[in-house]
Amino acid sequence: MWFQGISGQTGRGRIARGGNAAEGLTDRLGTAEREAGFHERDMSSFERERIDLEHRVTRMEAELESLRQRRLEAYARWWNARDDRDRALHVCRKLRRRIDRTRGRDNGE
């Protein structure tokens, strides 16, 4: 584990030698604190990026929902126009047949 090296290097034999061991520990403490500070800054940066991305995702999801709704509305308009066209074509066929029958009567049939 990452912390095993700490206890292994600061065993009883090393501390018994006197003040030099305390300086070594102080140096290691300073290094560890600086490293923790670097990681803290990285974490802040990553958190800002995560929050920014979360906002972007939320906006894009809302836009996607809006586009899906517009797609459904466009399809509904197309479907209604298709029904209106089919109805108009049906009326045209009926009127042509009626005109053809009327012309046939007028021609003596």
DSSP 8-state assignment for residue 29 = H
Mapped to the 3 state alphabet, what secondary structure does 57-108 carry? HHHHHHHHHHHHHHHHHHHHHHHHHHHHHHHHHHHHHHHHHHHHHHHHHHCC
Number of structural domains, the chain? 1
pLDDT in tens, 25-54: 999 999 999 999 999 999 999 999 999 999
6 domain-assigned: no
33 domain-assigned: yes
pTM listed for this prediction: 0.56
Q: Angle 23-25-26 (CA atoms, 0-180°, nearest 5)?
A: 65
10 domain-assigned: no
52 domain-assigned: yes
Q: Angle 49-55-60 (CA atoms, 0-180°, nearest 5)?
A: 120
65 domain-assigned: yes
* Residue with the larger pLDDT of the pair 22 and 85: 85
pLDDT of residue 56: 98
7 domain-assigned: no
66 domain-assigned: yes
pLDDT (average), residues 83-103: 96
Q: Which domain holds residue 89?
A: 15-106
In this prediction, what percent of the chain has a pLDDT beyond 90? 72
87 domain-assigned: yes
